[in-house]
Amino acid sequence: MTQPMDANPGTELAGRVVAAAIAAGTSIATAESLTAGMIAATLAEVPGASAVLQGGVVSYSNSVKANVLGVDPALLAERGSVDGDVARQMAEGARRACGADLSVSATGVAGPDAHDGKDVGTVFLGYASESGSGFTEHRFSGDRAQIRISSTLAALELLASHLPPSKHTA
């Protein structure tokens, strides 16, 4: 089935994430750099998202990553913003700031130029929950818009993979 040209390709996936989060009684937060709120906005397109989406932090600048999300300034100075440990700390900070059970973060290079010594298409997604945190690394291709969409979709998949089973029994 094809979607209309103006449809957000993440809406169906976001619907599954929201439904699973509601069923599991899990609240969600985001911390976004290269996606600039796209992950949270895609989740918010789903009717009923307010039951689980606590909020998000758009942290384009390193000062917001450090001052709002609590990313270690020494880490930012040493490795730059496009780094797996930065993504992990961003997710931890979003979870803490928004009081959420589960969070996801995105930092990377959408282009058109390399950034912090990382090639265009390099993306790190972080996650954090009560059971721990971590990150995944991706290499996406395409133009700036395509890389941002691919990052959003991958972040939604990451959320889905870390949602606990439903608390409701049949």
- Structure tokens, 28: 């969600």
Q: How many domains does the chain have?
A: 1
- Give domain status of residue 83, yes or no: yes
**The pLDDT of residue 79 is above 90:** yes
85-144 pLDDT, tens digit per residue, is 999 999 999 999 999 999 999 999 999 999 989 999 999 999 999 999 999 999 999 999
**The pLDDT of residue 3 is above 50:** no
150-166 pLDDT, tens digit per residue, is 999 999 999 999 998 87
**The pLDDT of residue 168 is above 90:** no
- Give domain status of residue 167, yes or no: no
What is the residue-wise DSSP string for 103-161? EEEEEE--SSS-BTTB-TTEEEEEEEETTEEEEEEEE--SSHHHHHHHHHHHHHHHHHH
pLDDT at 8: 65
- Give domain status of residue 70, yes or no: yes
Domain of 154: which CATH number?
A: 3.90.950.20
- Give domain status of residue 49, yes or no: yes
**The pLDDT of residue 2 is above 50:** no
**The pLDDT of residue 169 is above 60:** no
- Give domain status of residue 54, yes or no: yes
pLDDT at 86: 98
The larger pLDDT score, comparing residue 167 to residue 10, is at: 10
pLDDT at 166: 78
Q: Nearest-CA neighbor of 114 among 122, 124, 106?
A: 122
- Give domain status of residue 6, yes or no: no
Tell me what percent of the residues of the chain surpass a pLDDT of 70: 92
Report the side by side order of strands in the sheet with 132-139: 53-58, 28-32, 102-108, 122-129, 132-139
Tell me what percent of the residues of the chain surpass a pLDDT of 90: 89
What amino acid is encoded at 63 in this protein?
S
Full domain range(s) for residue 102:
11-162
